[in-house]
């Protein structure tokens, strides 16, 4: 499971900086004679000529060995490397009958605000999921859109996950490096000095830590709130192995939004997620977060295109609403490498629009739904627009 952290800034120039977070270290993973390097789904922004205005979302991989006697040559433009926890299996590989459509094209990142955010993050030595994962929305989010609230995404607790979900390209290890004890304070100082309005903190899964990293999350939130009480904080978390005390620790740290992704429909959980994750466990985490503190806003996300049916998706949305989840994001699953789960379907923009309308009709306070929508997609905008809409409703009613 991948978890990430996101931060938003106003369209005014940032007043300063963020704290140092570890950069992703790239290494090869060897499995007997097989040695792969892989890059996740990307927009090849940095390789583009500056005049380019549009680029297709791609997936690429390379190998220094062979699979089934076939030499797998590096694809041109492959730039990221790292281990993948599994190998080719019954649900992996490319499906030649499923062609990537034109709507999965995105403008190359550009613009004054984008460069401002990029330069600031570089100066502060902050590690962002946006760049490391080469997110297709990086240009839109960093430019801030029409509301002027830019959003970036960073990871706490290191860059290596203890789980091996089959959709995710993040590095994995049973024994990742211990967390940096100074990370919470350093992160808070940097974000407070940068003039951030909205921050989304996220992390990899850390099953090697007794509380799953909840205390580390909580320390970071508390430090931010002490330095800048008005900052809005969203935490996109793991399931903490179902430890509800760990959930409470984070909920009572001062955060504003508790986010945890169920990722897919119930039937596909075992195929898509690590065996230590689970549908009911994720629902229990979200439910407990909601009940642990009055007014806590909860949020979840589901990937489409993994073979789910409409009825199964409706069931998942109903289950989320039954535990009063407020905010939902729906996006297209994009296969990072042939070793990851196969894309079964590219869902059309029209179908995503249908699911947005359907989600709002059954009670979600806000639904972000589109092919390139991700968990932290313009999180600050989503939060602010939702709150403004509800204030308008309240004043009208009175």
Q: Which ranges of the chain would DSSP assign to H, the alpha helix?
A: 112-124, 129-132, 138-143, 183-194, 214-227, 244-251, 269-272, 279-292, 310-322, 349-361, 379-397
- Tokens representing 313 are 């998706």
Instruction: Give phi and psi for 167, each to the nearest 5.
Output: -100, -10
Q: Has 45 been labeled as part of a binding site?
A: no
Instruction: Give phi and psi for 16, each to the nearest 5.
Output: 180, -125
- Provide the CB-side half-sphere exposure for 360 (13 A, CA): 10
Contact, 305 vs 98, CB < 8 A?
no
Q: Has 161 been labeled as part of a binding site?
A: yes
The total of other beta-carbon atoms located within 10 Å of residue 300's CB is 27
Q: Has 235 been labeled as part of a binding site?
A: no
Cα–Cα distance, 366 to 387 (Å, whole number): 10
Q: Has 16 been labeled as part of a binding site?
A: no
Q: Has 130 been labeled as part of a binding site?
A: yes
Q: Which residues pair with 329 in a beta bridge?
A: 301, 368
Which residues are known binding-site members? 130, 135, 141, 161, 165, 168, 376
Which residues are known binding-site members for [4Fe-4S] cluster? 130, 135, 141, 161, 165, 168, 376
């Amino acid at each position: 499971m991948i978890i990430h952290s996101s931060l938003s800034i106003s369209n005014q120039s940032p007043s300063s900086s963020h704290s140092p977070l570890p950069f992703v270290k790239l290494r090869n993973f060897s499995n007997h004679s097989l040695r792969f390097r892989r890059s996740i789904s990307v927009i090849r922004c940095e390789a583009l000529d500056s005049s380019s205005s549009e680029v297709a979302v791609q997936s690429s991989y390379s190998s220094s060995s062979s699979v089934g006697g076939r030499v797998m040559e590096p694809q041109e433009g492959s730039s990221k490397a790292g281990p993948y926890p599994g190998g080719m299996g019954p649900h992996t590989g490319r499906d030649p009958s499923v062609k990537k459509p034109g709507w999965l094209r995105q403008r190359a990142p550009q613009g004054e605000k984008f460069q401002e955010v990029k330069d600031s993050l570089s100066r502060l030595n902050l590690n962002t999921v946006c760049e490391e994962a080469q997110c297709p929305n990086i240009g839109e989010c960093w430019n801030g859109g029409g509301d002027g609230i830019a959003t970036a995404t960073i990871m706490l607790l290191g860059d290596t996950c203890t789980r091996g979900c089959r959709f995710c390209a993040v590095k994995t290890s049973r024994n990742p490096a211990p967390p940096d004890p100074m990370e919470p304070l350093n992160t808070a100082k940097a974000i407070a000095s940068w003039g951030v309005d909205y921050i989304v903190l996220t992390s990899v899964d850390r099953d090697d830590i007794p509380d799953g990293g909840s205390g580390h999350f909580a320390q970071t939130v508390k430090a931010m709130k002490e330095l800048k009480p008005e900052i809005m904080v969203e935490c996109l978390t793991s399931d903490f192995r179902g430890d509800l005390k760990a959930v409470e620790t984070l909920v009572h740290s001062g955060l504003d939004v508790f986010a945890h992704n169920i990722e897919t429909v119930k039937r596909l959980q075992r195929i898509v997620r690590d065996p230590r994750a689970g549908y009911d466990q994720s629902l229990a985490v979200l439910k407990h977060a909601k009940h642990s503190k009055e007014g806590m806003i909860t949020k979840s996300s589901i990937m489409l295109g993994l073979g789910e049916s409409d009825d199964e998706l409706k069931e998942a949305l109903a289950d989320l609403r039954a535990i009063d989840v407020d905010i939902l994001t729906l996006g297209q699953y994009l296969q990072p490498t042939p070793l990851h789960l196969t894309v079964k379907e590219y869902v059309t923009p029209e179908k995503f629009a249908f699911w947005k309308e359907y989600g709002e009709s059954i009670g979600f306070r806000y639904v972000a739904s589109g092919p390139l929508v991700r968990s932290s997609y313009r999180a600050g905008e989503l939060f602010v627009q939702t709150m403004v809409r509800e204030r308008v409703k309240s004043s009208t009613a009175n």
